[in-house]
Chain A
Amino acid sequence: MIRVVLPAHLRTLAHVDGEVELEVEGQATQRAALDALEACYPVLRGTIRDPVTQQRRAMVRLFACERDLSHEQPDAPLPDAVAMGTEPLLVVGAMAGG
């Protein structure tokens, strides 16, 4: 089980409070986690990754275990603590705008 913390706008869209818990089949990677997230909450399709290119949106970052994972390869394993559910994967909207 993976825990994901969404930014406020996406929690509103998905009608969730607090963390989201996801079952990820196979190796826990960014791609697998986001695939599982979008499968559970289809309204989030296209909000974190471009729906066509699957590229992470420029102003969305992925943090975990006090590390910035945004530039990791999508199929790279997530940290063990995230894969085991002891630490959450944080989806963060960049600080920008007014």
Chain B
Amino acid sequence: MSGVRVLVGTRKGAFVLTSDGKRASWDVSGPHFAGWEIYHVKGSPADQERLYASQSTGWFGQLIQRSDDGGTTWTPVDNQFTYDGVPGTHQWYDGTPHPWEFARVWHLEPSLTDPDTVYAGVEDAALFRSVDGGQSWQELAGLRGHGSGPSWQPGAGGMCLHTIILDPVDPGRMFVAISAAGAFRTDDAGKNWRAVNRGLRSEGIPEETAEVGHCVHRIAMHPSRPEVLFMQKHWDVMRSDDAGESWHEVSGNLPTDFGFPIEVHAHEPDTVYVVPIKSDSEHYPPDGKLRVYRSRTGGDEWEALTNGLPQRDCYVNVLRDAMAVDALDSCGVYFGTTGGQVYVSADAGDSWAPIVRDLPAVLSVEVQTLP
């Protein structure tokens, strides 16, 4: 029987949650890397046993760990992320130039076809690639070399490259998102990049429709329709039907359009999930009710999913990398909270149950669908 493996990164370690296809009974393994912040763990689509994990602390810096047995054992690989050439400067919070300084890896995106190729999105914002299973990293410097690079500014959480989307049809195309610069696209495997933020409007920046400066929180794509993108921006849920060339708002009837994660159903390209959060100054669900919102129409029309989720006194957040879907026939949806819960829905969001309730604050959730 097929099953799932859920990879959870938390403030104090990683956890691996496994279940069969029913997704009702779970085994919990961990903490791996106990005491370390695990920003992200993700498996290779080309080899389900190959996992990569970003491990860091404020004390001892960044490590990258690799597993070749599905998370049972781990090996540290290269942790040196050196900006290409003279790093130059970006803008600091006060508007002064600030040298690019590596802080941590926010997101690891394994290649769709090669287990040894993996991309790393880092803070200060840059994109790195390894083609040897993490043994060495090289910056794809064309991104930071985009003419707007010196004007990028950090968001409150730092200037992080947190989203990497690989186009399953066009191997030369990928998308990244940076807080608070915006979305960028390459069509030549990372050599050249351009901002793809037309249609975004952000009230918190001097020019609301500027080419860059938007605080994009997350972008999602369905592999069957790679030209369609969904975006959770700081405020606003957005959609693009032309690979980012232009965006339009699809917040519709959401109770608030602030939030962090956004995901697409594994089998229904127009079914989208978000978790509305009250505001940028109050990072918890409105009214103390934890509600996932689902659109079956590609946005604009949203329904609250509450069955099994706390509907009173709930003041957790769901971070940008902390939602995922599996590819079983009945699509499973997963998310983790800053309160340490990981919830699963085995029926595409109709009903939810906690897998675990008391982990450290959850930073990321990914899921692998096992044969």
Report which A residues bind B (CB closer than 8 A): 7, 9-10, 13, 43, 45-48, 50-52, 57, 59-60, 93-94, 96-97
Contact = CB atoms under 8 A, between A and B. Distances in A.
Given A9-B59, A10-B60, A13-B63, A46 B35 contact: no
B358 to A, nearest CB: 16
B206 interface: no
B79 interface: yes
Interface of B is mostly: loop
Interface in B26-63: 35-36, 57-63
Given A7-B59, A43-B76, 6 more contacts: A9-B35, A46-B61, A52-B102, A93-B60, A96-B58, A97-B58
A13 B62 CA distance: 12
B82 A48 contact: no
Task: Choose among B58, B61, B63 the residue with the greatest number of A CB atoms under 10 Å from its CB.
Answer: B61
B80 A60 contact: no
A57 B79 contact: no
Contact of A47 (B35, B60, B82, B102): B60
Contact of B61 (A7, A47, A96, A97): A47
Given A13-B76, A46-B80, A51-B79, A60 B60 contact: yes
Interface string B119-132: 00000000000000
B10 to A, nearest CB: 13
Contacts, number: 42
A52 B139 CA distance: 15
A57 B59 contact: yes
Contacts of A93: 59-60
B80 A51 contact: yes
B35 A59 contact: no
B35 A52 contact: no
Interface string B313-343: 0000000000000000000000000000000
Contacts of B60: 9-10, 47-48, 57, 60, 93
27 contacts: A7-B59, A9-B57, A9-B59, A9-B60, A13-B76, A43-B76, A45-B79, A46-B61, A46-B62, A46-B63, A46-B79, A46-B80, A47-B60, A47-B61, A47-B63, A50-B61, A51-B79, A51-B82, A52-B102, A57-B61, A59-B59, A60-B60, A93-B59, A94-B59, A96-B58, A96-B59, A97-B58
Contacts of B57: 9
Contact of B36 (A9, A45, A46, A57): A9
Interface string B58-84: 111111000000000000100110100
B347 to A, nearest CB: 37
Contacts of A43: 63, 76
A34 to B, nearest CB: 13
Nearest to B83: A52
A48 B62 CA distance: 11
Contacts of A13: 63, 76
